[in-house]
């Protein structure tokens, strides 16, 4: 049965609609509501009562952070709003974007303007609306570092609210939104960026980034401090494409890093360091907790490059769960759970998935 749609004020309602996803799984929604004009859509009672208030209606961004174990979703919603812009504040700029805007598109646009703050998030898939929920980050920067405010629709109280960044409960790959899954629909976010390079610019001390930047700087005969935000975004892109499958590809599917880097008590980290002196460890600000490398743990557990029925962990980056073509969502989830079990058995560390597991 092919999808067909019915358009009404502010929304498109699609029946039996495919859900594109970066794991390349064959998933369909019996009904998909695409919100193309939020004020118009939310003013309609049937949208609020039949969709926004329904806890079973899944909110979709770019489906780049979801593992669909099932092949069918009953009801799903997505934001088709895609406006972004900026307000000049002198040395700084306040930038906004609707939740339906592609995150990578928005990041590259800000970098192209010469504004500093988001360039390290280049090449991350998904939408702007998903960014504060996951508190996305890369190479020392998280969206929380620049976030000002978030406009939300509260699906429980059926009302529009705006939260300041400090109200969002943002920490490493976590937010207040994740504590109440399905309740919050992110309509717009605002960030503050700088027109001038920060003091530690360009801060290249991350695996792969420093060497890639050195090669680029040698080719253009320039010092590191002369890098523009757009140039650093390009360098980040090159590094990510060497380590991760292209999320636009229809050949190999992934959601990028599948597991969070675990943060453990200092005592456990010390015990692990005695047994494995080469284990990467990153003390956190509190000094009572230490971040470990999930990729290192997975590789040492023997899962890097291992495949079971087209589902497995990438041979390039052990942290990436991949669909080599034809794997089911259940097969991918089975592999992920086996990785969790093996890492826990060997190291006593529990890995937590980054994406939503839709079962």
Q: Give catalytic residue positions.
A: 173, 257, 354
Q: How far apart are CA 271 and CA 269, in angstroms?
A: 5
Q: How far apart are CA 146 and CA 99, in angstroms?
A: 16
Answer whether 203's CB lies under 8 Å from 140's CB: yes
Answer whether 288's CB lies under 8 Å from 265's CB: yes
Round to the nearest angstrom and report the end-to-end CA distance of the chain.
23
Residue 149's alpha-carbon distances to 138, 191, 357, in angstroms, are: 20, 7, 27
Residue 141's alpha-carbon distances to 97, 116, 121, 135, 296, in angstroms, are: 19, 11, 8, 10, 21
CA quadruple 326, 328, 329, 335: dihedral, nearest 10: -90
Please give the DSSP secondary-structure letter assigned to residue 302: T
> CA 251, 254, 255, 256 torsion: positive or negative?
negative
Picking from 282, 323, 348, the residue whose alpha carbon sits closest to that of residue 27 is: 323
Task: Give residue 354's Cα distance to chain centre.
Answer: 8
Answer whether 53's CB lies under 8 Å from 155's CB: yes
Residue 281 host element (H or E): strand 281-283
């Amino acid at each position: 049965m092919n999808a067909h749609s019915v358009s009404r004020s502010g929304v498109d309602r699609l029946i039996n609609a495919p859900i594109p996803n970066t794991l390349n799984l064959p998933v369909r929604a019996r009904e998909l509501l695409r919100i193309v004009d939020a004020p118009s859509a939310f003013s309609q009672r049937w949208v609020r009562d039949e969709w926004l208030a329904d806890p079973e209606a899944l909110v979709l961004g770019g489906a780049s952070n979801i593992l669909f174990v099932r092949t069918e979703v009953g009801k799903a919603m997505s934001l088709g709003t895609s406006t972004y812009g900026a307000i000049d504040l002198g040395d700084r700029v306040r930038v906004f974007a609707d939740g339906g805007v592609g995150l990578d598109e928005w990041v590259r646009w800000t970098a192209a303007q010469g504004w500093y703050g988001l360039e390290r998030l280049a090449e991350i898939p998904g939408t702007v609306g998903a960014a504060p929920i996951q508190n996305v980050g890369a190479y020392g920067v998280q969206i929380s570092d620049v976030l000002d405010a978030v406009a939300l629709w509260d699906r429980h109280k059926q009302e529009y609210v705006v939260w300041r960044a400090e109200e969002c409960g943002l920490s490493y790959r976590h937010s207040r939104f994740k504590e109440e899954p399905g309740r919050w629909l992110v309509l717009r976010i605002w960030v503050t960026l700088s027109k001038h390079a920060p003091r530690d610019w360009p801060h290249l001390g991350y695996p792969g980034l420093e060497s890639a930047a050195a090669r680029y700087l040698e080719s253009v005969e320039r010092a590191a401090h002369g890098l523009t935000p757009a140039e650093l975004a390009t360098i980040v892109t090159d590094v990510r494409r060497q380590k991760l499958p292209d999320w636009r590809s229809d050949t190999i599917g992934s959601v990028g890093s599948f597991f969070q880097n675990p943060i453990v008590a200092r005592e456990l980290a010390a015990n692990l360091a005695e047994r494995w002196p080469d284990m990467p460890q990153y003390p956190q600000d509190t000094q009572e907790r230490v971040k470990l490398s999930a990729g290192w743990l997975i590789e040492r557990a023997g899962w890097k490059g291992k495949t079971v029925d087209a589902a497995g962990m990438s041979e390039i980056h052990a942290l990436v769960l991949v669909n080599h073509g034809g794997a089911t969502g259940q097969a991918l989830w089975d592999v992920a759970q086996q990785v969790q079990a093996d890492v826990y058995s060997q190291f006593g560390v529990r890995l937590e998935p980054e994406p939503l597991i839709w079962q």
